[in-house]
């Protein structure tokens, strides 16, 4: 408009692919995980908009065994280690709109 403001509808959407814990006839199955947000903003020409809050938390468990010894009944756990890994992430988007005149 004449005052130099821009009104925008911002709808970022992101899809991650995660392997499912089940499989169908020995084929791997993947689950899409979608994150999205929606906001209506009014910002001055040339100013930067910071959009955040698209959070993601993933957790994975890893089990490692010493070949042969890790599979022995009763004492196999002595040759086995397991760990859990948790990763948290936050996606931040920077948008700087500019009015282009003809």
Q: Where do the structural domains in the chain lie, given as residue ranges?
A: 5-21+28-95
Q: How far apart are CA 41 and CA 37, in angstroms?
A: 13
Residue 76 φ/ψ, nearest 5 degrees: -60, -30
Average pLDDT over residues 75-96: 90
In this prediction, residue 35 has a pLDDT band, given cuts at 50, 70 and 90, of: confident
As a whole number, the mean pLDDT across the chain is 86
Average pLDDT over residues 55-84: 89
- pTM, to two decimals: 0.62
b/e map of 48-75 (b: 16 or more CB within 10 Å)? eeeeeebeeeeeeeeeeeeeeebeeeee
């Amino acid at each position: 408009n004449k005052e130099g403001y821009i009104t925008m509808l911002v709808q970022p959407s992101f899809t991650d692919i995660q392997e499912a814990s089940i499989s169908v006839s020995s084929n791997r199955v993947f689950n899409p995980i979608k994150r999205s947000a929606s906001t209506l903003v009014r910002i001055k020409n040339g100013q930067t908009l910071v959009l955040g809050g698209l959070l993601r938390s993933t957790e994975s468990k890893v089990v490692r065994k010493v070949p042969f010894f890790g599979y022995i009944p009763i004492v196999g756990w002595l040759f086995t280690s397991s760990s859990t890994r948790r990763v948290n992430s936050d996606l931040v988007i920077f948008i700087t709109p500019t009015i282009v005149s003809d």
